[in-house]
Amino acid sequence: MPSLPRRRRFVAGLLLTPLLSGCFASGGEDSSDAAGGSRLRVALAFPPAENFSPYGADATLLSRLGVTEGLTRLDANGAAAPALAESWSRENDRSWLFTLREATFQDGTEVTPKAVAASLTHAARAEPATPALTGVELTAEAAGGARVRVTTSAPDPVLPLRLSSPGVPVLSAKAYAKKDAVRPVGTATGPFEITDVTGTTVATLDRFDDYWGGRAQASGVDAKFIADGTARTNALRTGETDIAEAVPVSQAASLDEGDRRETATTRTTSLLLNTKSGAFEDPKVRAAAREAIDTSSLAKGVYEGHADPGAGIYGPALTWAADKRVKPSGRARAAGAQGTTITVATYDNRPELPEVAQVLEQQLEKAGFEVKLEVREYARLESDALAGKFDAFVSARNTMLDTGDPVSILAGDHTCDGSYNLALLCDKTVDRAVSQAGSITDTAKRQGAAMKAEAAVLGTDAVVPLVHQRIITGVGGDVSGVQLDPYERSLVGVGTRR
């Protein structure tokens, strides 16, 4: 579709620092804007952990707030759909051509093939690798007209899915002006742009009037990052916020029925066991932990029926998974765990997780383990978890978040070279199964191969799927157009308003 009239926009000092000072409008005020439309007040569970770096954990924050976007996006069926690219075609098994729509960066410069190619190149070279591009080598170049050619070193049948990832956004050249940081502030293409940030507590966003998809109905977004789920829910109930993500199941009943939305998601909560060091380096001890866990009690108890017992890495929201599931084989025989001391860590941004950990503590102690729990905010926990400083980690992971491709999550989370391998798993059988699945082009056959690879992962007992979640979002009665995304990539957009 044609873009709106272009105009260069300058925001004084916006690109000078990655984090700027600012304030959050008080809850009782009607924060309407003279330019039209009220401001949205949003309470988010996860604060920025990496100064809003688009290549790590903060990538999803940026996409959920309507700041960043990529060449493609996921549609309701999980297929790649147009975003900054209007269309694409495959030239051969390693090369794709993407045709760009007319669009403008938030710093006023045009979205050109050269700018897009440079942005994709930066994403491909990110250290550590952005999850969607784990194990993928790609090059990008302007290809004449409005086209960009993207070439991979090996055949990649799901490249359009990868480029929908929040971790592969298209940013202007100014985002890369300094070598030590990538700055999405004022350099993205979405309907809202960041104007102020206060530490890890508040972010202020204004409407980007030149957005190619049309002018947003809200004049801006005032986001608070509130790790405590009860506090997020209270903020909605008292009118201090308009949207509260990840409402705890224990707080759902405190909201009016019309103020809560339940969405089936592709998020699975799992117990990941450290296979590299400590007690769970022994597969027999991992088997003992897996046998000690009753997942049905977690779904019924902790999640009060707002979740399903863990069936695998992929849950029931992926309707194709159940019919293709393969039973794990080659599991070790469980050893006695009497007196084995372990540390189980989790984070409190998702309020059910500490309670899950407490129930696991009881179940594991009944099997003979001596359990120490460690609970922190996620931003203060991730680096230690990836470094293997805990014996076990309770994590809630959206299996389709990074790419929408079932094989990619296995490559990123469960292979030797995976960038988010919390279990520190390095198993030749798993790597071979994931590699074989990744080489398949046909969608149905690729899904079947992914399920065989899932069975290989589960056969190591490095991962114990606990529950498949449904997410509860609190939405004020006068708010409409909230994006209830099963892939959890978006929340506010052009049509979100109050």
Rounded to two decimals, what is the model's pTM?
0.76
Could you give the CA distance from residue 132 to residue 404 in angstroms, rounded to a whole number?
Answer: 9
Q: What percent of the chain has pLDDT over 70?
A: 93
Which domains does the chain carry? Answer: 39-225 (3.40.190.10), 265-470 (3.10.105.10)
List of residues 6+ apart from 12 with CB closer than 8 A = none
Is residue 13 pLDDT above 60, yes or no?
Answer: no
Q: What pLDDT score does 5 carry?
A: 34
Mean pLDDT over each residue of the chain, to the nearest integer: 90
pLDDT in tens, 378-389: 989 999 999 999
166-190 burial, b for 16+ CB within 10 Å, e for fewer?
A: bbbbbbbbbbbeeeeebbbbbbbbb
Is residue 344 pLDDT above 80, yes or no?
Answer: yes
Is residue 57 pLDDT above 90, yes or no?
Answer: no
Binning the chain into helix, strand and coil, the percentages to the nearest 5 are 25, 25, 50
Could you give the CA distance from residue 323 to residue 319 in angstroms, rounded to a whole number?
Answer: 8
Of the pLDDT bands very low, low, confident and very high (cuts 50, 70, 90), residue 79 is: confident
Whether the Cβ atoms of residue 393 and residue 271 lie closer than 8 Å to each other: yes
Is residue 3 pLDDT above 90, yes or no?
Answer: no
Name the residue with higher pLDDT: 234 or 322.
234
Of the pLDDT bands very low, low, confident and very high (cuts 50, 70, 90), residue 129 is: confident
Question: What are the strands, taking DSSP E only, across 348-386?
Answer: 370-376
Overall average pLDDT of the 269-289 stretch: 97
Q: Which helix (H) or strand (E) holds 44?
A: strand 39-44
Amino acid 337 reads: A
Q: What pLDDT score does 218 carry?
A: 97
Is residue 266 pLDDT above 50, yes or no?
Answer: yes
**Distances from the Cα of 39 to the Cαs of 42, 192, 201, 427, in angstroms?**
10, 11, 18, 50
**Distances from the Cα of 363 to the Cαs of 281, 297, 359, 396, in angstroms?**
20, 10, 6, 19
pLDDT in tens, 160-186: 999 999 999 999 999 999 887 899 999
Is residue 83 pLDDT above 70, yes or no?
Answer: yes
Can you name the residues that pair with 372 across neighbouring β-strands? 343
DSSP state of 137: -
Whether the Cβ atoms of residue 249 and residue 231 lie closer than 8 Å to each other: no
Count CA atoms within 13 Å of residue 372 on its CB side: 9
Overall average pLDDT of the 6-25 stretch: 32
Of the pLDDT bands very low, low, confident and very high (cuts 50, 70, 90), residue 36 is: low
Q: Which long-range contacts (CB under 8 A, 24 or more apart) does 78-86 make?
A: 78/400, 78/404, 78/487, 79/161, 79/404, 80/160, 80/161, 80/163, 80/164, 80/404, 81/164, 83/164, 84/111, 84/116, 84/170, 84/189, 84/212, 85/148, 85/163
pLDDT in tens, 352-388: 999 999 999 999 999 999 999 999 999 899 999 999 9
pLDDT in tens, 181-194: 899 999 999 999 99
Overall average pLDDT of the 400-420 stretch: 89
Could you give the CA distance from residue 233 to residue 249 in angstroms, rounded to a whole number?
Answer: 10
Whether the Cβ atoms of residue 496 and residue 40 lie closer than 8 Å to each other: yes
Q: What pLDDT score does 107 carry?
A: 97
Can you name the residues that pair with 374 across neighbouring β-strands? 345
